[in-house]
Chains A and B, each alone.
Chain A
């Protein structure tokens, strides 16, 4: 019966040109955004792959030199854009995409795509997911208004509810119609995004799961909007009130709460200023150390080797000093940067908790994580690049340690064979399961929203009947 009612309601909607214009405009805008971002992403991906290959070639072709100097030249690692980034770029526009893996320093990822965005670029920085989350509510509410409030205005609704054998089915039919129309906006997006990834040669089972989960989350979000829209229109007794109610709902859930949540999280869990973090790193793990620090290093190296002077060491002292400083810095970076990144993740978790207050926050969090563009995915790359850097620099320093200067005092130089023995940097993003824990809370919250709006709709039907 609900399906039959939904078909009837769809017929009604098709007669309203403003509804068709609103839905069509939203669908076109989303598809346009997706196509432009897919094209831009493919271009960036091509550039990054080409330059990564050039970096490897430069590494292999470098002239024979001191391995530690080679560790300073080192390579740039490029973060591959997530295959679903064209759907939801998440934090990607605001985090660095390339990192220089050099000796002594865990550098920041640099070259944020929107690092110097103009106001227009920030205001217009909406990927399909962001547009859908922000603009689907007004469109859904317009549809709900057309389906319910106008019937009330014409006096048809009272009659329908009064004579209906199952008034809830009537309301569900309206919500189902609305949801199907909204799905008509969502499904082409999913198809184009999947096709784009396949054409780009990046399709995988993990990507399939991610896309399916992303579509399901968005589908639930749209269902919540449909139920909410129909419920509010049923509950409020005049069209004026219904419209104000819908406007307020959109304003609060989509415009206000996400930003208020962000500000609240920032105020309650403030990040350490970058200045303080960098200062601490510079103080505790200097890339150029003073003569006094060098003397301390010497004492520590000799004590660890159990010898009294540099001449008694079985190793090249310069290499030993470089290795000592490098390994000491690892612990500092793990402690200082590790704690800093943990606080960023804690902020994200606190933000996700606001999912219980707004379905928009829930679906925002889910979308970025499923698309592989949240900060957790960024951290994966940071960790992988840093792991590679440490391995590479340690091997370079080990080569210096193992080779004493020749009889003329000339330092050891490594050659192409040694460079080629170092594996290239390769990064494969981890599968979705690794990030599943971050999905749980917003997923439950979105499910709770669905249940709450279903129950709410039932209550609204009862209220409207009364």
Chain B
């Protein structure tokens, strides 16, 4: 008795699984699906990696440019120390602390790409990856953005997230349905029904045989695609493990869904039609309906009305400028008795008082935008559980660091840095009102700001980020998909307890 025969005699289920497993490997369709997945994953990962490289290069170029500007400013600081008949205008003079704070300060805060950025473009093509730092910008965030072709933004990219969340299920459905319904469609099911095997066991082992090739194959495809796109897996080990778990459990849930559908013994056409309808509902119709509902609710403040509010606030501040400054001077012990100088203050010095007032006037709008965005993000997260393709794409972008939540954290860091810069500059600028540094006689430069002081200006510090935290963030979705897969598999098992009546 050879080993296979012995296995069949004493462990028939295991023997049948081995047989199904070997049969699955002989199906060209299995290898075609895996080849398509590998190709799609590679193209997708490469596309995201390319965008990441372009953005990184732009950040590096920006840093170089800022450093060149700083060197030029320092050179001009030294150069302007020369004697001259007339002084340099304050806004052209880097040795004037007020002029420097408004016209010469140049720094960009950058959001660096993460090692597993090629997992998903996410919102990385839509949101800025660097912010110009200006003291007077309301709430620190310039509304500028990096231009990406808008047609491409509307269309969406062919990235790894798309290949995993949208393409992979369709290929899995086609594979499982065609392999699991072959006997049904070709009239051979009655031959199998005549064997000593229950329908539930036969179908389960058939699907397990396919899954036993498909799941490791998908894991290999994902790993190869990431490596080919230049991912440093060691540097992002927690995210990589989480991504692998997420993709595998998502694939398993697709297999379980296909198993559930074929467990009712439909023909391939009916099964595939049903799965396609389900996919269209979850991947397309549900997000569209939810987005339409959110739009109809329209609880976000209008950007157009915000412009009006901004303009009204600016106009009010411009019209009552001196009065507002007098109020500020009155409550400041260090500026008491200096009200007579208000009319002579330069624009940059006035801004140190007025910029926070403008923010104060717009604070409700800012809070409204932030709260609305928070609500929209929550809605998106919740819907990710109801519409798994959306949830998986979203989770992959979390692991890649291209998600909106990370962007919001960076915006907060940028706002905090602007406050640090204000805390550094404003006292120095305002000190010149009360106790101005004496201007050197016949000097071109104002000379109340030195290269040594310039070197002490606080720089933007990249917030600490943990790969483990990103990986933990996707655990609920992984568990949800795992539970869904198990429930579907159990339901499919119960559903397939009888052979179809017509055989």
Interface residues of A (CB under 8 A from B): 18, 22, 25, 29, 32-33, 36-37, 39-40, 43-44, 47-48, 50-51, 54-55, 58, 62-63, 73, 76, 78, 89-91, 93-95, 97-98, 108, 110-126, 131, 134-135, 138, 142, 145, 149-150, 153, 238-240, 242-244, 247, 251, 255-256, 258-260, 262-263, 265-267, 270-271, 273-277, 279, 288-291, 294, 340, 344, 347-348, 351, 364, 368, 374-375, 378
**Cα–Cα distance between A93 and B150 once the two chains are bound (Å):** 8
B interface secondary structure, majority: helix
Chain A to chain B contacts (Cβ below 8 Å), 29 pairs? A40-B298, A51-B305, A62-B315, A91-B154, A111-B303, A119-B394, A120-B384, A120-B390, A121-B376, A123-B287, A124-B287, A135-B284, A145-B273, A243-B268, A244-B178, A251-B170, A259-B157, A260-B43, A263-B158, A266-B149, A271-B147, A273-B58, A274-B145, A274-B146, A275-B61, A276-B61, A288-B92, A288-B103, A375-B151
CA of A112 to CA of B125 in the docked complex: distance in angstroms? 14
Interface residues of B (CB under 8 A from A): 43, 47, 50, 54-55, 57-59, 61-62, 65, 76, 80, 88-89, 91-93, 103, 122-123, 126-127, 130, 143-158, 162, 166-167, 170, 174, 178, 181, 185, 267-269, 272-273, 276-277, 280, 284-285, 287-292, 294-296, 298, 302-308, 311, 314-315, 318-319, 373, 376-377, 379-380, 383-384, 387, 389-390, 393-394, 397, 403-404, 407
The chain B residue with its CB closest to the CB of A108 is B144
By the criterion CB–CB under 8 Å, are B149 and A275 in contact? no
**Central interface residue in A73, A239, A263, by most chain B CB within 10 Å:** A263
Which residues of chain A have C-beta atoms less than 8 A from B80's C-beta?
Answer: 291
Q: B308 near A54 (CB under 8 angstroms)?
A: yes
Chain A contacts of B276 at CB under 8 A? Answer: 138, 247
Given known contacts A39-B296, A247-B272, is B126 in contact with A262 (CB within 8 Å)? no
Of A33, A153, A290, the most chain B CB neighbours within 10 A belong to A290
A260, B103: Cβ atoms closer than 8 Å = no
Chain B residue nearest to A294 (CB atoms) is B92
Contact across chains for A142 and B397 when beta carbons are under 8 A apart: no
The answer for the CA separation of A344 and B291 in the assembled complex, in Å, is 29
Q: Which residue of A lies closest to B397 (CB)?
A: A119
Neighbouring A residues of B296 by C-beta, 8 Å: 36, 39-40
Alpha-carbon distance between A124 and B291 when the two chains are bound, in angstroms = 5
Q: Which residues of A contact B122 (CB under 8 A)?
A: 119
Measured between beta carbons, the chain A residues less than 8 angstroms from B154 are 89-91, 93-94, 125
Q: Which residues of B contact A150 (CB under 8 A)?
A: 269
Main secondary structure of the interface of A (DSSP, over half): helix
Whether A58 lies near B311 (C-beta < 8 A) is yes
Interface centre among A39, A123, A275, A351 (most CB of B within 10 A): A123
Given A119-B394, A259-B155, A262-B156: 14 more A-B contacts, CB < 8 Å: A47-B302, A78-B304, A98-B304, A119-B397, A120-B287, A120-B291, A121-B380, A122-B123, A240-B268, A243-B269, A258-B155, A263-B158, A275-B146, A348-B151
Q: A33-B292, A258-B155 are in contact. Are A149 and B269 (CB under 8 A)?
A: yes
Q: In the complex, A243→B92 CA distance in Å?
A: 71
Residues of B within 8 A of A142 (CB): 273
8 shortest interchain CB distances as A-B pairs: A124-B291, A91-B150, A120-B380, A118-B380, A259-B158, A124-B287, A275-B58, A123-B287
Min CB distance, A291 to chain B, in Å?
Answer: 4
Q: How far is the CA of A89 from the CA of B150 in the complex (A)?
A: 11
> Nearest B residue to A131 by beta-carbon distance?
B288
Roughly how many angstroms separate A259 CA and B165 CA in the complex, as a whole number?
A: 14
Minimum Cβ distance to chain A for residue B72 (Å):
9
- Shortest beta-carbon distance from B316 to chain A in Å: 11
> Which of A50, A116, A145, A288: most chain B Cβ within 10 A?
A116
